Amino acid sequence: MEINNQLAIYVVSDSIGETAEQVSKAAISQFNIQDYDIRRFPFINEQRQILDLVEEAKHENSIIIFTIVKDCLKGFLVEEATKNNISIIDVMSPILTGFTKVIGTEPKREPGIIRKLDEKYFRKVEAIEFAVKYDDGKDPRGLKKADIILTGISRTSKTPLSMYLAHKHLKVANVPLVPEVPVPKELYEVSSAKIIGLTTNPFKLIEIRQERLKALGLKSEANYASIERILEELEYAEGIMKRLGCPVIDVSTKAVEESASIILEIFREKGHKFSNGKSF
């Protein structure tokens, strides 16, 4: 069979093949050549796939550049390409060998690790953006999309807990409970299984609110930090939480990490599954 003079660059990978493709483009740009075709063959995990692409490549003016990390598949690809006089370039092995010498341990040889890390990172970013968007009851529509809904009166750690749980890739919305402000109807429309109520000791809360007022340059004796107001709010919130039928956590003596751990334990006991596929 007559071989086409166009250069066919076979990009072969046991992951998505993006690394090998970028390397190929960088390399070919150094040559004065326009007649070439880069073809990506991702997720190669069987010898049969290698045989098929080699069979195609041997009838062309071709070169194979690959990022296969599994030794058995890599060896088979090199053997078949060599047998058919096809030029072949291993992108990863020289790099892995260099790192092995410096680090002193063998590589995992697991395909697509960087892609998995990227996906994990973007899930976290998405969860953080969600927590910011639906913080402090800004948009009640987010309650139906949330993995966890936190509710409680002011200064019961709703926002810090939302952000902490977001770093664990969970979508958290929070709703403040204020006697003068109607509870959003969406809070009653979602399952109580994903709602956590937050409460606190009234005298501890007085201290926290007084410090908050000072930070804002306001007088510490304002109604916001009075025992009467705080008891009224706590009683109101308790009634709402009973109506919702949700678990309630006292955060007065707990660090954010401890409260978050209790929340996750509650969901673990329920066998609840979150939108990221995790179950606790």
Last residue of a domain, one of 53, 88, 111: 111
Give pLDDT, residue 111: 67
Whether 277 is covered by a domain: the verdict is no
Q: What is the DSSP letter of 13?
A: E
Whether 81 is covered by a domain: the verdict is yes
Q: Which candidate, 198, 203, 206, 187, places its Cα nearest to that of 164?
A: 198
SS3 content of the chain, % helix, strand, coil (to 5): 50, 15, 30
CA 38 to chain centre: 32
In terms of domains, do 77 and 134 share one? Answer: no
In terms of domains, do 185 and 56 share one? Answer: no
Q: What number is the average pLDDT over the span 115-132?
A: 82
Looking at per-residue confidence, does 49 or 272 come out higher? 49
Whether 280 is covered by a domain: the verdict is no
Give pLDDT, residue 242: 97
Cα 186 from Cα 213, distance rounded (Å): 31
State the total domains in the chain: 2
Whether 32 is covered by a domain: the verdict is yes
- Residue 278: pLDDT band by 50, 70, 90 thresholds? low
Q: Is residue 154 marked as binding?
A: yes
In terms of domains, do 80 and 201 share one? Answer: no
Q: How much is the mean pLDDT over the chain? A: 90
Cα 198 from Cα 256, distance rounded (Å): 12
Whether 207 is covered by a domain: the verdict is yes
Cα 99 from Cα 106, distance rounded (Å): 9
In terms of domains, do 98 and 124 share one? Answer: no
Q: Which candidate, 39, 47, 44, 43, places its Cα nearest to that of 16?
A: 43
Looking at per-residue confidence, does 277 or 5 come out higher? 5
- Residue 40 sits in a domain of what CATH number? 3.40.50.2300
In terms of domains, do 212 and 128 share one? Answer: yes
In terms of domains, do 30 and 148 share one? Answer: no
- Bridge partners (DSSP) of residue 88 are 64
Enclosing domain of residue 8? 4-111
Is the confidence at residue 118, as pLDDT, over 90? no
In terms of domains, do 128 and 261 share one? Answer: yes
Give pLDDT, residue 3: 47
In terms of domains, do 8 and 138 share one? Answer: no
Last residue of a domain, one of 56, 80, 111: 111
Q: Is residue 158 marked as binding?
A: yes
Q: Who's near 35: CB < 8 A, 6+ residues apart?
A: 5, 6, 7
Residue 154 structure tokens: 């002011």
Cα 18 from Cα 56, distance rounded (Å): 21
Whether 276 is covered by a domain: the verdict is no
Last residue of a domain, one of 89, 111, 133: 111
Cα 120 from Cα 81, distance rounded (Å): 36
> SS3 for 85?
coil
In terms of domains, do 138 and 258 share one? Answer: yes
In terms of domains, do 142 and 258 share one? Answer: yes
pLDDT tens for each residue of 132-186: 999 999 999 999 999 999 999 999 999 999 999 999 999 999 999 999 999 999 9
Q: How far apart are the first and last CA of the chain?
A: 60
Whether 279 is covered by a domain: the verdict is no
Q: Helix H segments across the chain?
A: 18-28, 47-57, 71-83, 92-103, 113-133, 158-166, 186-189, 202-215, 227-244, 256-270
pLDDT tens for each residue of 178-235: 999 999 999 999 999 999 999 999 999 999 999 889 888 888 778 899 999 999 999 9
pTM of the shown model: 0.62
Give pLDDT, residue 269: 87
Q: Is residue 185 marked as binding?
A: no
- Residue 218 sits in a domain of what CATH number? 3.40.50
Q: What number is the average pLDDT over the span 52-77?
A: 92
In terms of domains, do 29 and 162 share one? Answer: no
Q: Is residue 152 marked as binding?
A: yes
Buried/exposed code over 64-82 (b: 16+ C-beta within 10 A; e: otherwise): bbbbbbeeebbebbbebbe
Cα 98 from Cα 104, distance rounded (Å): 10
* Side chain identity at residue 149, one-letter code: I
Whether 265 is covered by a domain: the verdict is yes
- Residue 123: pLDDT band by 50, 70, 90 thresholds? confident
Residue 82 structure tokens: 């060599």
Give pLDDT, residue 2: 44
In terms of domains, do 238 and 137 share one? Answer: yes
Q: Which class for 63: exposed (0-12), middle (13-18), buried (19 or more C-beta within 10 A)?
A: buried
Q: Who's near 210: CB < 8 A, 6+ residues apart?
A: 220, 225
